[in-house]
Structure 1
Amino acid sequence: MHSSAVEVLSVAVAEKPRRRWYTVFALSVAYLIDSMEGYTLQFLWPYMYPALGIPVANLAILQSIGRVVSAITGPIWGYVADRASRKAILVVMTGVWGLWTAAKGFANSFSQLLLFATLAGIGLTVLEPAALSLLSDLFGRKERGRAIGFMIGAGFAGSLISVVILGAIAEGNTEAWRYGFITIGALSFLSGLLLLGINEQPRGSAEPEISDVVTAETAPKIEPQLIAQLLKIPTWVINMVSTNIDFTGFAILSAWAFTWIVELDMGPMVQVAMLAMMLGTVLGHLGFGWLSDHVDQRHPFHGRVAIGQIAFIINLASAIGFLVLGSRSVLLLSTFGMLFGLSFALKGSGAQLPIEQNVLPPELRATGRALGSWISAFVTAGGVGLSGLLLTRLDNDLQRMMLIMVPLPILIGALVWIPLFRTYRRDMAALEARLSDRRAAISQ
């Protein structure tokens, strides 16, 4: 029994798929542009609403409707990605569909902007579940953190680049913000061409229990009745609830922080603070994915869970510091901003995403991610919408609103996370047993 397992592992190590790092690169570029697309509205908003003559609080409506549309379509795309070609879905919906973002640049009214934002939102939930599922079939459990971290880090680099590029574009004149949308839409289309060369392996190819026997014909595919099994995986449920509550705080901060920083009127260097936060997020994803893989190899049952708990504590403290002390100086704003970004990345690439992929069967990975994003879209849409209402009641005091709406979700997410110390080990063992049974069935 032991020698058989060693043989399986040796085959998995010896036969690493071709172009797997090109695939990471291509997905990372697509994620970078997708992230730029997702952040374009909020970065250009300070320049847009005066030009279009609409209230500043309407940003909450646009942000919320995009999340609701994504929530409606997200589970559908996840299910399709667990049955059909993930590569084809990514090329069409991540690449070609991005042209709707370019259309926002031609909007002349709030109703037109709302229409284009709604259409663009249909494709914004495709990339992450399909890409994570695909990467999990190219990289084993001990390497997923670095692959996921590289891709997610590139995604957040998109937000970093957005601040520099979009800010420079929008400063040109009152109508220059339009070129920002047109540029990002064109880049999204070009990313679809890059995705034509990615390597899509059969589902389950990176699992040592079945890696040497699974083929495109025998690879598991999702069936409608299997979706309910997600609720029987405690780690997935706890991780999903914790992550979605926690992400609401990040979504609210990212939606309003840029506008708040502009309002601080602390001079031209104030934008460095947002760059510091985004740079921290990018560097954190790139580095902590590797770190979490190393910790996981030494402490496979509790290492990633402990990393997540530590990250929650740092993230909560840095969010409060950013909002309370940041208005005193650009240095404090930048320091706490970077610490917030680093700790947020540590939660994601270091714990939340690898843990999710490590407990889900291959045929449920895209659906599990999509359902998590589906719930997140409703939760964050409600949170961002509530932030807009609260902002109005607080006489547009952004700092007071964010001090209420940002730290609380992070604290709740940290408390919900604690039971994973008990469930993660059990659910990993259950998946290994399930895959071993599947190997026996395929080999017959």
Structure 2
Amino acid sequence: SPYSTDSVIYRGFCPSGTYAADNRAAIIAFDALDRALTDLLEVCCGLAWCGLQYLLRTVFMIHAADGAMLPGVFKALEEQLSGATPVSLGAIVMIEALCHSIAVFLWGFYADRTCKIQLLMRTTLAWGFLTLATSCVGDIASLAIVRALAGIAGAAMGPLSQGLVAAVCPSKQRGKAFGFLAASANIGYILGLLLSTSSSHLDSVGGWRASFALFSVLTLFLAWVLGQVQVEVSSGLFAESRTWARLDRFSGEASTASVVWREMRDNLSLIMRRRSFVVLILQGAFASTLTRSISYLTMWYQYLGFSDVAAGIITSSIPLGYVFGAILAGYASDRLAHSYPLHGRICFGQLTDLAKLFVLGFTFLVLDDPDPKKTEDFVLRCGLSFLFGFFAIMSYSAVVKPLFAEIVPACFIAQAIGAAAAIDGAFASFASTPVIGYFTESVFHYQVTTQPISEMPEALRLQNATALGRAISAVMTGSAVLSLMSFGFLHLTFPDDYKQTVEEEGDRDSEVTTEDSDDSAFSESKGGPTSRRVRFNVTYGTGKPQETLQESQA
């Protein structure tokens, strides 16, 4: 249309792809429609992100339940599987953990090079079939093979889920997001342990095999849901949103094996150059040692004279504390991170580790050994176990995991989490239960016996209870002290690493913006739209063009 004083010229495209008339009301209507559609899209994607968080929590819950079921059916396996003994079953658990530690970093590296949701769907599908295979094993050798493969497949769940949360979730909400993930995992652990233990000898419903078969069906259904989410994210409505665009932003391209290994080495070298990563590895190693030492607590309470049920209830209070502690810590940590970005989370971690140390000292050093005949001692020990779990999970879920996402660029988050899990797990495997076993026998003179606790001489029972209690106290208290001391170094290293990460992310954003600008110029030269948002110039009889919609919003 010819230019006139009272007319307007629309140079872009409206959402329907047709040119707008030179009518002021039409352009205002198109602008309002575009704003409404874009805002509605982002609102829908925000709701979808909430749904994805619930889906990831479900993944964590079922994965933790699967991991808790095998120890819960040890006795049934010993009775029904050929070659199953306490030694062979313990070796299977060790093999599964070893395969998990080896594979977790590789999964983290691969997760940063591909679509995390698609990879999570595939590994969940494989894990579901392996859980089903566990319910069908007939001897100890086949069980060892299946669980080793399950350890490899299950190792992907942590880096993928946590890397997905860290890549998409805003930094000031990561504590809450990781807290709910940890809480979901512990709820699954409790449910899996209760289900497997209570049904392990119910032959009318299939016994322990039915438990694994049930969870395999749930896992396969979860894989199908993840597949539907992946299709929607890659090609559906949400593929056009800024929120979901982050999922594909850091995906790598196909490369040869030599290039992949060289890139893996370079990435690990870059991660290790972050001083805060080294400090977090050190702190995590001591914290993991402390957590794994809990496995001896049930045995200690049994030696003190508590029944199997009572000892199990006391010990189960710890993961129950994990659930509540992880959720509350997420909110508190995010609030402190918002007010004090460089030191808020670290101070919160030190405070919770100090509270955890206080609970341990009160449990092992201040109080006398509990009397199983006194109800108040049983209630007190349950309360202390709950408080220990409540404070022990806080630094892990609300401090350590969010800090990993803030000391490296987003394209390295899954690798950093995977490398930390591998190193911490390997260190704790040697520094927790083996050290307690050595202290118990060689330092505190534990007497090895095959007698049931109920048939032991009173002197021998008390001697072993004392030896085991002192060994647990030494390892757990020492690990808590070293973990607390390690946190202090983060005040020196984290500010520099955080600023460096922000600068690197800014450089990447500039590169992306430049590429987008080039693409936009190319589209404009071809006569196509330059943006998903409406771009227009309006002249109200003064000859002065107005700003584009994006520029005016900026």
Q: TM-score, normalized by length of structure 2?
A: 0.69
Task: Verify the 8 A CA contact 2:293 2:472 in the aligned structure 1.
Answer: yes
- Identify if the C-alpha distance between structure 1 residues 270 and 389 changes in structure 2 by more than 3 Å, giving closer, same or farther: closer
Deviation at 1:75, TM superposition (A): 1.5
Task: Verify the 8 A CA contact 1:238 1:420 in the aligned structure 2.
Answer: yes
What is aligned with 2:222?
191
Deviation at 1:220, TM superposition (A): 6.2
Give 1:361's aligned amino acid: P
What is aligned with 1:240?
281
What is aligned with 1:431?
501
Moved more, 131-140 or 179-188: 179-188
- Identify if the C-alpha distance between structure 1 residues 198 and 342 changes in structure 2 by more than 3 Å, giving closer, same or farther: farther
What is aligned with 2:65?
36
Deviation at 1:185, TM superposition (A): 3.1
What is aligned with 2:313?
272
What is aligned with 2:21?
none
Give 1:169's aligned amino acid: S
- Identify if the C-alpha distance between structure 1 residues 349 and 213 changes in structure 2 by more than 3 Å, giving closer, same or farther: closer
The separation in 1 between residues aligned to 2:309 and 2:379, in whole angstroms, is 13
Query: Which residue of the other structure, out of 115, 119, 135, is the alignment partner of 1:85?
Result: 115
Deviation at 1:303, TM superposition (A): 1.1
The separation in 1 between residues aligned to 2:146 and 2:247, in whole angstroms, is 38
The separation in 2 between residues aligned to 1:156 and 1:24, in whole angstroms, is 16
Equivalent residues in 2 for 1:121-270, closer than 5 Å? 121-170=151-200, 172=202, 176-198=207-229, 219=250, 221=252, 223-224=263-264, 225-253=266-294, 255-258=295-298, 260-261=300-301, 264-266=305-307, 268-270=309-311
Query: Which residue of the other structure, out of 27, 51, 62, is the alignment partner of 2:56?
Result: 27
Greater length-normalized contact order (CA 8 Å, ≥ 6 residues apart): 1
Query: Which residue of the other structure, out of 330, 333, 340, is the alignment partner of 2:381?
Result: 333
Deviation at 1:375, TM superposition (A): 1.2
**Helix, strand or coil for the counterpart of 1:142?**
helix
- Identify if the C-alpha distance between structure 1 residues 54 and 220 changes in structure 2 by more than 3 Å, giving closer, same or farther: closer
Task: Verify the 8 A CA contact 2:288 2:425 in the aligned structure 1.
Answer: no
The separation in 1 between residues aligned to 2:363 and 2:271, in whole angstroms, is 37
Where do 5+ consecutive residues of structure 1 fail to align?
Answer: 1-10, 203-210
Deviation at 1:173, TM superposition (A): 6.5
What is aligned with 2:402?
354
Give 2:74's aligned amino acid: W
Query: Which residue of the other structure, out of 115, 118, 123, is the alignment partner of 2:148?
Result: 118
Deviation at 1:333, TM superposition (A): 2.2
Deviation at 1:265, TM superposition (A): 3.4
Deviation at 1:130, TM superposition (A): 1.0
- Identical positions, percent: 18
- Identify if the C-alpha distance between structure 1 residues 67 and 268 changes in structure 2 by more than 3 Å, giving closer, same or farther: closer
1:412 lines up with 2:443 in the alignment? no
**Helix, strand or coil for the counterpart of 2:172?**
coil
Deviation at 1:85, TM superposition (A): 1.4
Deviation at 1:239, TM superposition (A): 0.8
What is aligned with 2:326?
285
Give 2:313's aligned amino acid: V
**Helix, strand or coil for the counterpart of 1:375?**
helix
Give 1:83's aligned amino acid: R
Deviation at 1:60, TM superposition (A): 4.0
The separation in 2 between residues aligned to 1:272 and 1:371, in whole angstroms, is 34
- Identify if the C-alpha distance between structure 1 residues 64 and 414 changes in structure 2 by more than 3 Å, giving closer, same or farther: farther
Deviation at 1:439, TM superposition (A): 2.1
Task: Verify the 8 A CA contact 1:322 1:332 in the aligned structure 2.
Answer: no
- Identify if the C-alpha distance between structure 1 residues 213 and 30 changes in structure 2 by more than 3 Å, giving closer, same or farther: closer
The separation in 2 between residues aligned to 1:180 and 1:410, in whole angstroms, is 36
Q: TM-score, normalized by length of structure 1?
A: 0.84
What is aligned with 2:422?
374
CA offsets 1:294-351 (integer angstroms, 9 cap, x no match): 1111121111101111222222333455567574332122111111111122112221
- Identify if the C-alpha distance between structure 1 residues 107 and 343 changes in structure 2 by more than 3 Å, giving closer, same or farther: same
The separation in 1 between residues aligned to 2:402 and 2:229, in whole angstroms, is 21
The separation in 1 between residues aligned to 2:386 and 2:226, in whole angstroms, is 31
1:66 lines up with 2:107 in the alignment? no
**Helix, strand or coil for the counterpart of 2:183?**
helix
Give 1:336's aligned amino acid: L
Deviation at 1:46, TM superposition (A): 5.0
The separation in 1 between residues aligned to 2:470 and 2:77, in whole angstroms, is 24
1:104 lines up with 2:134 in the alignment? yes
The separation in 2 between residues aligned to 1:232 and 1:148, in whole angstroms, is 25
Deviation at 1:242, TM superposition (A): 1.0
- Identify if the C-alpha distance between structure 1 residues 66 and 212 changes in structure 2 by more than 3 Å, giving closer, same or farther: closer
CA offsets 1:167-207 (integer angstroms, 9 cap, x no match): 321354798334333333333223222323447989xxxxx
The separation in 2 between residues aligned to 1:123 and 1:161, in whole angstroms, is 21
Larger Rg: 2
